[in-house]
Chains A and B, each alone.
Chain A
Amino acid sequence: MASASSGLPTSGGFAPATIADFIAMAKKIRAAPVSPRSGKGKPAKELKRLRVGLLPSFTLKGVGETLLVKGREMGLDVESYCCSYGQHALEALDSKSGLYKFSPDIVFLFVDLQTLLGDAFFKPYAVSDESRRNFVASKLSELKLVVAAIEKNSKAKIVVHNFEVPSYSPLGILETKSQFGFLESVRALNAGLAETFRNNSRVFVFDYDSFCSRLGKDGVDWKSYYLGDLKLSLQRVPALCDEYLTYLRTLASLSKKCIVLDLDNTLWGGIVGEDGFDGIALGPTPQGRPFWEFQKMLVALLERGIILAVNSRNNPKDALKVLREHPYCVLKEKDFACLKINWSDKVSNMKEIAKEVNIGLDSLVFFDDDKANRQVMRAALPPVLTVELPSDPALYCATLQSLRVFDSFQLTEEDAGRGKLYAQERQRQELHNVASDLSEFLAGLGTVVSIERATSFSIPRIAQLCGKTNQFNMTTRRYSEDQVKAFASSKKFEVYSIRVQDNFGDNGITGAVILEKAASTWRVDSFLLSCRVIGRKVEDAVLHFIVAQAAKAGANNIVGEFIATEKNEPAKGFYSSSGFKLASKTKAAKAPNLKAKKNSEDVELWEFDVKKGFGLPKFIKLESKA
């Protein structure tokens, strides 16, 4: 199983294997205050703290301990709270319950089917199919109430288990002949859960049925169920915790962003420098298929926003020929954000990859078939997740599937395109390196700026940008989706999204503008651009647009506001160099979550006479339906 070097402060190399091991290890951790560097442990202050609330409808023990131990291995300090036996609904509904006093960051609601259905679980056919439909609807409503209460009483993310579809029915082979049979009703319940929370960004449905299928629905420990109401076998708790940790990792922003790949015997069978272009195994043959399908799985990850890079000791010519010309090489040169194909050491390459892609070492995953390379990488760069790739290529796909480190709580179109975006950025950078001046660079880029009024599709992205753009941001006003929506629907405001495309690809929506329109003066409340697209005259094109719109509406002047922060140096001189005049400084208005520089609450007001006009920069094309 893939694992970075263990962060467990153990002696004697004891690796927990059974649930009792986890419980014992948790006891040790809790008893001893974490010492600075015992073994390979991280100092306590480096661990990210997470508070986990557990609401099981039966006796669920060992989860807190297992999460604590496994969490440490990945830099998490997990503290848990479990509701009292039988109190899961009450603790959710009572705003003063222990659950809320605990202030959880995330809550797992685990209701088992038997508790939910009561006696109907054993005698499902005591009622008619019609009755069963109503019953399912009422159960779904009950669950919605409980979840709604948690949403109301806390800010936690919520993970709701769906229900294990039983593998037994008293009807046997006739089960599927019912109009709305027992097993079908449980599936309907699960479908109802999924539908209910599909568009709720705070609530996730955990596919417990799928989990049970994977482990085997026959693995029930009946004794401990009858004796202690343990509806999940103790030995399955570690596996459940692995699932829970995928949510915790994501919550702590520990997800990996980039996969770095070796080439020989990793992306294809054989060594291209020795076996030649025609001699490597890649394609529909038995030997080539494991690599071919491994590449296809990597493409799927690229499509959902994971960045890919290459770290290979090879002659660039030999390796690139495969990437460019091999008919079964699904991954192409253009799919990689960074290619280190040379005779340098892989550790240096890895550091350069991190630098060039501009992400931390702890965001990287490394695949290499060579055990020695892996050991060196683990020792030299512990934050990189060096996957323990099995020696049998037939297991590569399964290994990739078992890595649950790429999760995210949301996936906007921009997120999904990130992998390709970085690859395109590499190509842009190569152009920049050869262009002799800015004009030549801009001419080669062929930038197209599209400015549209905000729509229900673009509002989430605009809010996202308001929340995270720091550098080219005139006023750094952090607006929520609801606030952006309010501006967009107000007649006194205009909200625009800014999308940037060029000859290398589509950056998507990477900027936003919020304007307040009075009869003679238009105020620029927010003007922000992602750092990805600054320095190429996009900001000038946007200003041209604003001035043109103001002129069309008959306004006399535009007032641009600027609030200095620690990070928005790149935006500082823009109004000045664009011909605006500093009119005055005033105290900052009550803008929400303002991130002004310490000791500076000054809003600079820069004025521009609309009649002057502001030209569109050369080499930029402006598209707008506004």
Chain B
Amino acid sequence: MCVLTMAKENQIRKIVASVLGVAASSITGETARNKTPEWDSFNHLLLVSEIEKQTGARFTMKQVEQAKTVADLEKFAAQGKD
């Protein structure tokens, strides 16, 4: 299993912060969809689109549905680049 580098992890967290419009420092791996009001269904699709564009990762539809936290996004992004 491919592990994300620290730099890639930071990049994804930066993207999440930017899309959700919150401070980058407040984003952790535990940041969750159901606990973050800005993280609605549209922003979820936007997040996936941005991560794919900026990191070259590719999510499957199932992964998009299953991603519930930032850590999930990082995990799936890593898998998609194998």
Contact B18 A24 (CB under 8 A): yes
* Per-residue B-contact encoding for A57-70, CB less than 8 Å = 1, 0 else: 00001100000000
Partner of B61, one of A61, A223, A230, A235: A223
Residues 33-58 of B contacting A (Cβ, < 8 Å): 41-42, 45-46, 48-50, 53-54
Neighbouring A residues of B50 by C-beta, 8 Å: 18-20
Partner of A227, one of B15, B21, B54, B61: B61
Neighbouring A residues of B64 by C-beta, 8 Å: 223, 227
Decide yes or no whether B19 CB sits under 8 A from chain A: yes
Measured between C-beta atoms, what is the minimum distance from A314 to chain B in Å? Answer: 47
Partner of A234, one of B21, B46, B54, B60: B46
Decide yes or no whether B65 CB sits under 8 A from chain A: yes
Counted as pairs of residues, one from A and one from B, with CB atoms less than 8 Å apart, the total is 47
User: Complex formed: what's the CA distance from A61 to B21 in Å?
Assistant: 17
Q: Which of B46, B48, B53, B59 has the most CB of A within 10 A?
A: B46
* Per-residue A-contact encoding for B59-77, CB less than 8 Å = 1, 0 else: 1110011000000000000
Measured between C-beta atoms, what is the minimum distance from B24 to chain A in Å? Answer: 13
Contact A233 B21 (CB under 8 A): no
Measured between C-beta atoms, what is the minimum distance from B11 to chain A in Å? Answer: 13
Q: With contacts A226-B61, A235-B53 known, is A27 near B46, CB below 8 A?
A: no
Neighbouring B residues of A222 by C-beta, 8 Å: 61
Q: With contacts A20-B18, A235-B53 known, is A223 near B59, CB below 8 A?
A: yes
* Per-residue B-contact encoding for A200-230, CB less than 8 Å = 1, 0 else: 0000000000000000000001111011101
* Chain A residues within 8 Å of chain B by Cβ, number: 20
Contact A227 B45 (CB under 8 A): yes
Contact B61 A234 (CB under 8 A): no
Measured between C-beta atoms, what is the minimum distance from B59 to chain A in Å? Answer: 7
Q: Which of A20, A27, A62, A227 has the most CB of B within 10 A?
A: A20
Q: With contacts A223-B64, A226-B61, A227-B64 known, is A24 near B49, CB below 8 A?
A: no
User: Complex formed: what's the CA distance from A221 to B61 in Å?
Assistant: 10
Q: With contacts A24-B18, A24-B21 known, is A227 near B65, CB below 8 A?
A: yes
Residues 218-269 of A contacting B (Cβ, < 8 Å): 221-224, 226-228, 230, 233-235
Q: With contacts A19-B49, A227-B45, A228-B41 known, is A24 near B61, CB below 8 A?
A: no
Q: Which of B45, B48, B54, B61 has the most CB of A within 10 A?
A: B45
* Per-residue A-contact encoding for B5-18, CB less than 8 Å = 1, 0 else: 00000000001001
Decide yes or no whether A23 CB sits under 8 A from chain B: yes
Contact B19 A24 (CB under 8 A): yes
Neighbouring A residues of B45 by C-beta, 8 Å: 223-224, 227-228, 230, 234
Measured between C-beta atoms, what is the minimum distance from B69 to chain A in Å? Answer: 18
Measured between C-beta atoms, what is the minimum distance from A109 to chain B in Å? Answer: 22
* Chain B residues within 8 Å of chain A by Cβ, number: 18
Contact A20 B21 (CB under 8 A): no
Partner of B49, one of A21, A27, A226, A234: A234
Neighbouring A residues of B46 by C-beta, 8 Å: 19-20, 23, 62, 234
Measured between C-beta atoms, what is the minimum distance from A100 to chain B in Å? Answer: 26
User: Complex formed: what's the CA distance from A224 to B48 in Å?
Assistant: 9
* Nearest neighbor of A228 in chain B, beta-carbon distance: B45
User: Complex formed: what's the CA distance from A228 to B19 in Å?
Assistant: 18
User: Complex formed: what's the CA distance from A24 to B17 in Å?
Assistant: 10
User: Complex formed: what's the CA distance from A308 to B8 in Å?
Assistant: 51
Measured between C-beta atoms, what is the minimum distance from A291 to chain B in Å? Answer: 37
Q: With contacts A20-B18, A24-B19, A223-B48 known, is A61 near B53, CB below 8 A?
A: no
Neighbouring B residues of A226 by C-beta, 8 Å: 61
* Per-residue B-contact encoding for A26-40, CB less than 8 Å = 1, 0 else: 010000000000000
Measured between C-beta atoms, what is the minimum distance from B68 to chain A in Å? Answer: 15
Partner of A18, one of B21, B41, B54, B59: B54
User: Complex formed: what's the CA distance from A611 to B34 in Å?
Assistant: 93
Neighbouring B residues of A61 by C-beta, 8 Å: 42
User: Complex formed: what's the CA distance from A117 to B50 in Å?
Assistant: 31
* Sample (22) of A-B pairs whose CB atoms are under 8 Å apart: A18-B50, A18-B53, A19-B50, A20-B49, A21-B18, A23-B19, A23-B46, A24-B18, A24-B19, A24-B21, A27-B21, A223-B60, A223-B61, A224-B49, A227-B64, A227-B65, A228-B41, A228-B45, A230-B45, A233-B49, A234-B49, A235-B53
Given contacts A223-B59, A223-B61, 6 further A-B contacts (CB under 8 A): A20-B49, A21-B18, A24-B18, A223-B48, A227-B65, A230-B45
Q: Hey, which bits of chain A sit against chain B, CB under 8 A?
A: 18-21, 23-24, 27, 61-62, 221-224, 226-228, 230, 233-235
Q: Hey, which bits of chain B sit against chain A, CB under 8 A?
A: 15, 18-19, 21, 41-42, 45-46, 48-50, 53-54, 59-61, 64-65
8 A-B pairs with the lowest CB-CB distances in the bound complex, closest first: A223-B61, A234-B49, A20-B50, A224-B45, A20-B19, A228-B45, A223-B64, A235-B53
